[in-house]
Structure 1
Amino acid sequence: MTKLVLGIESSCDETGVALVRSGAGGALPTLLAHALHSQVQMHQAYGGVVPELASRDHIRRVLPLLRQVLTEADVPLTDVDVVAYTRGPGLAGALLVGAGVACALGAALARPVLGVHHLEGHLLSPFLSADAPQFPFVALLVSGGHTQLMRVDGVGRYELLGETIDDAAGEAFDKTAKLLGLGYPGGPALARLAEYGDPEAFKLPRPLLHSPNLDFSFAGLKTAVLTQARKLESAVCELPRADLAASTQAAIVEVLLKKSLKALQATGLKRLVVAGGVGANQQLRIQLNAACQARGVRVHYPELELCTDNGAMIAMAAAMRLQAGVQQPRSDYAFDVRPRWPLDAIDA
């Protein structure tokens, strides 16, 4: 029997709502509608996310987005079977908005609720694409403050292979962009500037590139970029800044590429899933596609519009967990949130 799963995402600076119908007979769930509001413009003036402002904006946006999704899907609210929400990780106040709304809806409708791990949402988001992966696979999770390599054998069956020991790839993009005066959000702005630069102009470090493990480190790269950026403060030409942007992007992409290939080799798997905001980076996709094709490896990504935080990935993860029987929704409507919540401890 299929179920209608409503998903609410509010972990940081995007408010997302989506409606998914679970699959029948082993089929994948299908996305009926989703809506998203980004707070980027609001936070730009501050150079980054202001948690209190983020929480207040989620409160303003979530119910209008819910009405929009129900209208687009042509489904009455009373037909919803399960209400899912992001339980963590993320900003505590922002998470509480989504959890509170979800549990209030569940109580009003007498429907069960289910708390979802934000990173599992990213991990399973490629199953929403036309080219959905199959288990098992290696996953490269590059979302915000997270950079991880996972072995994924099924829903809820995750083995951590390596992770960042300091700055994540997304943080390296954002901090470099800030050093170059590109504002917030930094990653996409740096990638645009890098299109005009020479990726070999600056010899930047690739921390842990040749280490025997699969861990990442980008703090040393950030320090090297800071040193070079200070030398460019008096530059009157934009080209050196573009060169530094391109060189930084090249360093980050090379580390992500080489570590992903090492993980594939170590596991013997022939399928790679890339998820999270950095997964939208075009240079990363181009180089991963070429390297994986040469090795007979299939690589999968979420649709570009679903790389950032969104409600569709939360509804999808909830529906897949329900179908796999790895989690049951709750009907007591007491909720908590987990701002820090390792993915390999998802059932803890």
Structure 2
Amino acid sequence: MATILGIESSCDETSAAICIDGKILSNIIANQTVHEKFGGVVPELASRAHQQNIIPTVHTAILEAKIHKNDIDAIAFTRGPGLLGSLLVGTSFAKAFALAKNIPLIEVNHMQAHILAHFIEDPKPAFPFLCLTVSGGHTQIVLVKDYFEMQLIGQTIDDAAGEAFDKSAKVLNLPYPGGPLIDKFAKLGNPDAYNFPEPQIKGFDFSFSGLKTSILYFIQQKISEQSDFLENENNLQDVCASIQKRIVSILLKKLTLAAKELKINNIAIAGGVSANSGLRKDLICLAEKENWNVFIPKFEYCTDNGAMIAIAGYHKYLKQDFASQEIAPIARWAVNHSQ
């Protein structure tokens, strides 16, 4: 029996989870509301909040799993990528815990963990599969050949899809985090009301900076013509629906291209933006058309969470792939490379 404590602290969520033999018994997430008034994550405030949250979060995870801290066989933690100050808090805690309990330390790549979240519950994807990993900081298409054999075949050349959602929301005067609010209003709007441009990028790569700029100019023009344009609920809903439709279409067009070229019909999505209802709905429709086997994680495993770190740590534990006490966090870490 292997009992793994997973620690996630890459950005603005402090999370801890307990995994026993591949089964998640607890997954506690402490969100940080301090960033709302700044319209985005402030790294220094994030690291301070992690320091305040990490001990009670771990304690709660252990209690909810109904185990004792002495039952833990190894501790897995997010080494990177992410905000260095935030990563440092989780890494330091994990190293101290492992040293105090004399148990192995397991480093986890945050982006690999998002993909491995698909192995928390059934149905699990069969290898090989393609995973569209979309979040505030990353937009990638990954060919997953095994648990830790992954090939990055497409990524954004500028901004991530999650950033496109959040920055668009800011232009619409929606509070942070704005991505979920765009999703909420989009459900009530007409996705064909406005036609935002689609970037022409060759291959499997993405680009969202031009789309963000076009949305900004569009809103500025509309407000110059009608000062209360965004105060009209119907206008706001239609704009949100149109923005969401374009971002989702960009993502799925590249995913379709990769699936056809590589002749793979096992398709997964992961990351915070995979919680978007428009992406989920359109992917399911596309899967029926393309005869894909689609794997979509539960909402609680889409955003940053300790469970995905714990399950990744469990599979590394089976390989006896442990880290040393000299290990340090890294802000940039490719999904297809070890350090």
TM exceeds 0.5? yes
2:38 match: secondary structure: coil
Contact 1:58 1:97 survives alignment (8 Å): yes
Cα deviation digits, residues 174-224 of structure 1 (max 9, x gap): 00000000010011011112222221121211113xx44000001110011
Report the AA paired with residue 162 of structure 1. G
Matches within 5 A, 1:85-234: 85-208=77-200, 211-233=201-223, 234=227
Report the AA paired with residue 218 of structure 1. F
Name stretches of at least 5 consecutive residues in structure 2 with no aligned partner: none
Return the alpha-carbon distance in structure 1 between the equivalents of residues 93 and 202 of structure 2.
46
Aligned match of 2:250: 255
Residue 27 of structure 2 corresponds to residue 3 of structure 1: no
Return the alpha-carbon distance in structure 2 between the equivalents of residues 134 and 94 of structure 1.
33
Return the alpha-carbon distance in structure 2 between the equivalents of residues 259 and 176 of structure 1.
21
Cα deviation digits, residues 253-300 of structure 1 (max 9, x gap): 111111111111111111001000110111111111111122221110
Return the alpha-carbon distance in structure 2 between the equivalents of residues 248 and 237 of structure 1.
17
Matches within 5 A, 1:9-48: 9-22=8-21, 29-39=22-32, 41-48=33-40
Matches within 5 A, 1:267-278: 267-278=262-273
Residue 298 of structure 2 corresponds to residue 303 of structure 1: yes
User: Would you say how many aligned residue pairs link Structure 1 and Structure 2?
Assistant: 334
Residue 67 of structure 2 corresponds to residue 75 of structure 1: yes
**TM-aligned CA deviation for residue 38 of structure 1:** 0.8
Which of the numbers 42, 47, 61 marks the counterpart of 1:55?
A: 47
Return the alpha-carbon distance in structure 1 between the equivalents of residues 103 and 325 of structure 2.
10
Return the alpha-carbon distance in structure 2 between the equivalents of residues 273 and 32 of structure 1.
24
2:194 match: secondary structure: coil
Deviates more, 1:235-244 or 1:251-260: 235-244
Aligned match of 1:26: none
**TM-aligned CA deviation for residue 321 of structure 1:** 2.4
Report the AA paired with residue 92 of structure 2. G
Return the alpha-carbon distance in structure 2 between the equivalents of residues 35 and 191 of structure 1.
25
2:49 match: secondary structure: helix
Contact 1:232 1:240 survives alignment (8 Å): no
Return the alpha-carbon distance in structure 1 between the equivalents of residues 183 and 96 of structure 2.
41
**TM-aligned CA deviation for residue 304 of structure 1:** 0.7
Deviates more, 1:184-193 or 1:172-181: 184-193
Return the alpha-carbon distance in structure 1 between the equivalents of residues 121 and 247 of structure 2.
26
**TM-aligned CA deviation for residue 315 of structure 1:** 0.7
Aligned match of 1:241: 236
**TM-aligned CA deviation for residue 243 of structure 1:** 1.6
Cα deviation digits, residues 132-179 of structure 1 (max 9, x gap): 222110010002210000110101111111100011110100000000
Contact 2:316 2:322 survives alignment (8 Å): no
Matches within 5 A, 1:295-334: 295-323=290-318, 325=319, 328-330=321-323, 332-334=324-326
Return the alpha-carbon distance in structure 2 between the equivalents of residues 135 and 228 of structure 1.
43
Aligned match of 1:293: 288
Return the alpha-carbon distance in structure 2 between the equivalents of residues 82 and 92 of structure 1.
23
Return the alpha-carbon distance in structure 2 between the equivalents of residues 196 and 63 of structure 1.
41
Return the alpha-carbon distance in structure 2 between the equivalents of residues 296 and 320 of structure 1.
30
Name stretches of at least 5 consecutive residues in structure 1 with no aligned partner: 23-28
Contact 1:100 1:335 survives alignment (8 Å): no
1:205 match: secondary structure: coil
Cα deviation digits, residues 57-79 of structure 1 (max 9, x gap): 11111111111111111111111
1:160 match: secondary structure: strand
Report the AA paired with residue 62 of structure 2. L
Return the alpha-carbon distance in structure 2 between the equivalents of residues 114 and 133 of structure 1.
24
Deviates more, 1:64-73 or 1:167-176: 64-73
**TM-aligned CA deviation for residue 231 of structure 1:** 2.1
